[in-house]
Structure 1
């Protein structure tokens, strides 16, 4: 596998690095960013938090805007942020911001033309962790988090792979995609019109049916423009209550859908994950 280092920046005593690699899962070159805390340079292996970003984002947005490096350096946790979709001139795309490049929705597409490249679920669950654990001084203890579309991806991946993740958190996740415009558009394109095939990627349905629990934290701003139509955290909360799932859901007064919101509470999220990653 060809892996190319694109950039290196020192931050809070650790190192932020950006890489490109040839993905067999996605049949294209992919980028990811990793923050290695100071402990990783001192002979220690550290646990990893995987971060999945939202619509239109890349591997750069979270690392540049969230401010997570300071607390990750303190706690000794590596942060990995993949891109949000396959990329390249031969990768299928759409004119809308909510389908195609920058909008992979962390599913394995089954429909042409998307199914050649859009297998972000397998990429995040299998190929990327294998690469990270081979290349860097990290343990196999993983947690996962994300925002909006990435919050959806994080919840779905943790709920479907309970033995692989210690904890999961999300900011403003698309909690019930089978019943919102973003989810319906993406799932119809990537998975086909048979809605029975959509359920495996709906966090609310998965949480309602779960028999093994990964501790979950969700923060949602109550001034989020997408709250009612697209995000539907109340459906996720109802599923958790029915199944007695260990979900902590916080509504944050006055906060919107932006990185101003994420940066305000990211420390809470990383400390939440540290309870499970470092014990």
Structure 2
């Protein structure tokens, strides 16, 4: 894989880097933020993959979340990829919730999306193959994300039992088959067969999960998308019915922004550290 480091900044005793690399899966160049904690000087460190939400690039998390401080404390590498394929020949659409910046972490099956929009394969296979080939990274991994990225983190963990030591999410889209954001994206990327959509829906996947990996979810009760797009009560009901371990924390007064993420990212990284370093 051809890679180029395009940013390199000292941060909490480690380094916040950004790389550009060629993705064969997506058929385009991609950028990804990688935070290396100071502990990499002593040996391989576990990796936390962060999936961002609609309209985001790798920059949102690395500049707004304040996660590097906690990653440095716990000795965790943070990997924050872009949210979709990019480039002039990559299909796009009007609006923020479809196309570039809105990959939804699925493998598209419909034209014109299928040739590039394979974010699931990129996150699960191609990106970790590159990251974990570096001797600074171990094969102990966790996954987290926000909104569309929370959807991605939860579904990817549920679809890949044994691959991740832990999973968490902020304000995730837990039932994309039942809300406008997901319905618009899935109709475009996956076609009209709503049964096929269920393979990318946390509420559906939790009913048949083959691993009881505990889910940690934080949700602000002042989130402007709470009722129309997020519906955490659907996840709570599905987890209760399936007997799947879920910690759902409703946070009074918090909205959908990175102010919310920055307030509790330390809790999430500590949660992952406990599993990754066990």
TM-score by shorter chain over 0.5: yes
2:69 is paired with a residue whose SS is helix
Structure 2 length-normalised TM? 0.99
Structure 2 stretches lacking a partner, 5+ long: none
Q: CA deviation at 1:34?
A: 0.4
2:232 maps to which residue? 233
1:217 is paired with a residue whose SS is strand
1:215 maps to which residue? 214
In 2: Cα distance, 1:213 partner to 1:168 partner: 11
The question of whether the paired residues in 2 share the 8 Å contact of 1:9 and 1:15 is answered with yes
Counterparts of 1:31-180 in structure 2 under 5 Å?
Answer: 31-40=31-40, 42-180=41-179
Q: CA deviation at 1:43?
A: 3.0
Q: CA deviation at 1:39?
A: 0.5
| Structure 1 vs Structure 2 CA RMSD | 0.7
| 1:193 corresponds to 2:195 | no
Query: Over residues 93-123 of structure 1, what are the superposed CA-to-partner deviations in whole Å (9 max), with x where a residue is unaligned?
Result: 0011000000000000000000000000000
Query: Over residues 102-147 of structure 1, what are the superposed CA-to-partner deviations in whole Å (9 max), with x where a residue is unaligned?
Result: 0000000000000000000000000000000113511101000000
The question of whether the paired residues in 2 share the 8 Å contact of 1:166 and 1:215 is answered with no
| 1:10 corresponds to 2:13 | no
Q: CA deviation at 1:188?
A: 0.2
Query: Over residues 127-170 of structure 1, what are the superposed CA-to-partner deviations in whole Å (9 max), with x where a residue is unaligned?
Result: 00000011351110100000000000000000001211011000
The question of whether the paired residues in 1 share the 8 Å contact of 2:161 and 2:210 is answered with no
In 2: Cα distance, 1:11 partner to 1:192 partner: 44
User: What is the aligned length?
Assistant: 278
2:274 maps to which residue? 275
In 2: Cα distance, 1:264 partner to 1:189 partner: 35
In 2: Cα distance, 1:4 partner to 1:136 partner: 18
Query: Over residues 226-248 of structure 1, what are the superposed CA-to-partner deviations in whole Å (9 max), with x where a residue is unaligned?
Result: 00010011001111101111110
Query: Over residues 16-46 of structure 1, what are the superposed CA-to-partner deviations in whole Å (9 max), with x where a residue is unaligned?
Result: 1000111010000011010000001x23100
Structure 1 stretches lacking a partner, 5+ long: none
In 1: Cα distance, 2:214 partner to 2:22 partner: 33
Structure 1 length-normalised TM? 0.99
